[in-house]
A and B are shown apart, each in its own frame.
Chain A
Amino acid sequence: MDLKRTPLYDTHRALGAKMVEFGGWEMPVQYQGILDEHRAVRNAAGLFDIDHMGQVRVTGADALKFLNHLLTANFSDMEINSAKYAVMCYADGTCVDDTFVYRLKNEYMVVVNAGNRDKDNAWIKAQAAGFDIELKDVSDEFYMLAFQGPKAEAVLQKLGTFNVADLQYRHAREFSLGSERGIIARTGYTGEDGFELFVPNARGKEVWDAILEAGKDDGVLPIGLGARDSLRFEAKFALYGHEIDAHTTPIEAALGWACDLNKNFIGRDVLLKQKLEGTTKKLVGFEMLERGIARAGYEIASNGNVVGVVTSGMPAPTLEKNIGLGYVPPELAKVGAEFDVIIRGKPTKARVVKTPFYANRARGK
């Protein structure tokens, strides 16, 4: 299969990026190094090409009703120009994908994961029967960038194009580039204050270059997928294919806060049952007590029996500890509980800790 490239591919190469396959796309995994990039986002700001993510526009008289049926969150009280996280479930409660939904003036926009775009489009379309809505994949209309970190606001303000000083966390607003329209939102997936931009597609490189230039004396770096993963991991944001997939439910994945079980949506009955009766596995965060790094796919054992699996694991750059996320039975899901992670055949002690590992320094204003 030919890998897709974003229009910034040559720009990434010129910046020294190493390119890797991700979700069918050839994307930068790192520029100068994952650790430097991770720290740049925590201490200054970093710019991400996330144009591989998909956007589906939902319009029509039943748009709100449809999204409340399709997704776990309740959108009924959502303000215009705001954003909300939600999971898309199958009827058995397992996850099709996780999404961010933006409510704009005359439309909703659902942002989905790159590797799930085709599957999600097909699923969403199949659920639309009987609703008075229009669906359109608008991924090619917008160039999606993320600009995250404590200095992101100040750097954007220098540009003049975006007025973000009074933009609230999880809120969005439109901006103009000449005659074209874009959207900027105070959202992100790094655990820092920051923004996601939907730039008119042909203007992606122009905005990318302008932000890097404006931030060059502030320590702003371009950030690859490697640090994107370590940043979201420290903040305990789920990643499809790791913490959530078609074998796990949002309740098991500790995403109950994103599910409004008082409304009806696809998968709700299963989630409600799990909420009331409990689940056989729960997602926990843990810290290694002995030398060794837990990695996705490693087994978790207790008293010599395999009882669970690691979903993400790495040395956390901000915490300088080896930590992980994984599924364990409920009796091991309490803070302080200990179990073994099997690292290359060797049981290695780990302990459940409070999450997120890294708490947001700033949630915006």
Chain B
Amino acid sequence: MSSGKEISYPNDVKYAASHEWVKIDGDTAIVGISDYAQDALGDIVFVELPTVGMELKAGDAFGVVESVKAASDVYMPIGGAIAATNDALKDAPETVNSDAFGAGWLLKVFPYNAADLDKLMDAATYKSKIESGEIH
């Protein structure tokens, strides 16, 4: 899918092929979904997030992001313990659309498995794989 809007690919996060991003902030990893993902999903109306304290591995489904049309699973880009979830999304799930890399974050992970970072993509690689259709 594509639209006329310009998709942003900030450089200060790393990306999973399943369209989640990770940003390292001190000893915590912050997780969200990419601008490409929110744009593809459309109006987000519901976000279901895991219980704080759960330990999950990279690749595990941790929740669901629902648009008007469909429910999509979201996957851990990095393993670790869920330290916090973004409670503000309960009342304002559309924040994921408007600010996917900022106020629309989903999880904080602490401690996290730093080795998983090596398997993630930088912005240029993620962007080129989307534009070539290798991931979609």
Residues of A that sit less than 8 Å from B by CB: 15-20, 29-30, 33-35, 38, 226, 229-230, 291-293, 295, 314-315, 317, 344
Closest to B64 in A: A344
Cβ distance B48 to chain A, nearest Cβ, rounded Å: 8
Q: How far is the CA of A33 from the CA of B40 in the complex (A)?
A: 10
Cβ distance A71 to chain B, nearest Cβ, rounded Å: 31
Cβ distance B56 to chain A, nearest Cβ, rounded Å: 16
Stretch touching chain A among B65-73, B79-87, B128-136? B65-73
Q: How far is the CA of A229 from the CA of B67 in the complex (A)?
A: 13
Q: How many residue pairs at the A-B interface have CB separations less than 8 Å?
A: 48
Instruction: Out of A16, A230, A291, A295, name the residue touching B3 (CB < 8 Å).
Output: A16
Closest to B1 in A: A18
Instruction: Flag if A229 contacts B45 (CB, 8 Å).
Output: no
Instruction: Flag if B42 contacts A34 (CB, 8 Å).
Output: yes
In the complex, what residues of B have CB within 8 A of residue A292's CB? 46
Instruction: Flag if A16 contacts B4 (CB, 8 Å).
Output: yes
Instruction: Flag if A18 contacts B70 (CB, 8 Å).
Output: no
In the complex, what residues of B have CB within 8 A of residue A35's CB? 43, 68
Instruction: Flag if B68 contacts A18 (CB, 8 Å).
Output: no
Instruction: Flag if B3 contacts A293 (CB, 8 Å).
Output: no
Instruction: Flag if A226 contacts B5 (CB, 8 Å).
Output: no
Instruction: Out of B1, B2, B42, B71, name the residue touching A293 (CB < 8 Å).
Output: B71
Instruction: Flag if B68 contacts A34 (CB, 8 Å).
Output: yes
Instruction: Flag if A315 contacts B42 (CB, 8 Å).
Output: no
Instruction: Flag if B42 contacts A30 (CB, 8 Å).
Output: yes
A33-B42, A315-B45 given as contacts; is B70 within 8 A of A295 (CB)?
yes
For this complex, 18 residue pairs linking A to B, each with C-beta atoms less than 8 Å apart, are: A16-B3, A16-B4, A17-B3, A18-B42, A19-B1, A19-B2, A29-B42, A29-B69, A33-B42, A34-B42, A34-B68, A35-B68, A38-B68, A230-B68, A293-B45, A293-B66, A314-B68, A314-B69
Closest to B45 in A: A315
In the complex, what residues of A have CB within 8 A of residue B71's CB? 293, 295
Closest to B39 in A: A18
Cβ distance B35 to chain A, nearest Cβ, rounded Å: 14
Q: How far is the CA of A34 from the CA of B67 in the complex (A)?
A: 9
Closest to B69 in A: A226
Q: Chain A binding site: helix, strand, loop or mixed by DSSP?
A: mixed
Closest to A313 in B: B71
Instruction: Flag if B1 contacts A229 (CB, 8 Å).
Output: no
Cβ distance A99 to chain B, nearest Cβ, rounded Å: 25
In the complex, what residues of B have CB within 8 A of residue A20's CB? 1
> Which 7 pairs between the two chains have the least Cβ-Cβ distance?
A16-B4, A18-B1, A34-B68, A35-B43, A315-B45, A18-B3, A16-B3
Instruction: Flag if A315 contacts B1 (CB, 8 Å).
Output: no
Q: How far is the CA of A124 from the CA of B124 in the complex (A)?
A: 54
Closest to B63 in A: A344
Instruction: Flag if B66 contacts A226 (CB, 8 Å).
Output: no
In the complex, what residues of A have CB within 8 A of residue B48's CB? 344
Per-position binary interface string of chain B over residues 1-18, scored 1 when its CB falls under 8 Å from any chain A CB and 0 otherwise: 111110000000000000
Instruction: Flag if B5 contacts A16 (CB, 8 Å).
Output: yes
Q: How far is the CA of A229 from the CA of B43 in the complex (A)?
A: 14
Instruction: Flag if A226 contacts B1 (CB, 8 Å).
Output: no
In the complex, what residues of B have CB within 8 A of residue A34's CB? 42-43, 67-69
Q: How far is the CA of A33 from the CA of B43 in the complex (A)?
A: 6
In the complex, what residues of B have CB within 8 A of residue A38's CB? 68
In the complex, what residues of B have CB within 8 A of residue A15's CB? 4
Cβ distance B77 to chain A, nearest Cβ, rounded Å: 21
Cβ distance B71 to chain A, nearest Cβ, rounded Å: 6
In the complex, what residues of A have CB within 8 A of residue B45's CB? 293, 315
Q: How far is the CA of A293 from the CA of B4 in the complex (A)?
A: 29
Q: How far is the CA of A17 from the CA of B5 in the complex (A)?
A: 10
Cβ distance A47 to chain B, nearest Cβ, rounded Å: 17
In the complex, what residues of B have CB within 8 A of residue A19's CB? 1-2
In the complex, what residues of A have CB within 8 A of residue B3's CB? 16-18
Instruction: Flag if A317 contacts B68 (CB, 8 Å).
Output: yes
Q: How far is the CA of A20 from the CA of B69 in the complex (A)?
A: 12
In the complex, what residues of B have CB within 8 A of residue A18's CB? 1-3, 40, 42
In the complex, what residues of B have CB within 8 A of residue A33's CB? 42-43
Q: How far is the CA of A281 from the CA of B132 in the complex (A)?
A: 48
Closest to B61 in A: A344
Q: How far is the CA of A16 from the CA of B3 in the complex (A)?
A: 5
In the complex, what residues of A have CB within 8 A of residue B67's CB? 34
Q: How far is the CA of A17 from the CA of B4 in the complex (A)?
A: 7
Closest to B2 in A: A18
In the complex, what residues of B have CB within 8 A of residue A314's CB? 68-69
Cβ distance A146 to chain B, nearest Cβ, rounded Å: 19
Instruction: Flag if B46 contacts A293 (CB, 8 Å).
Output: yes
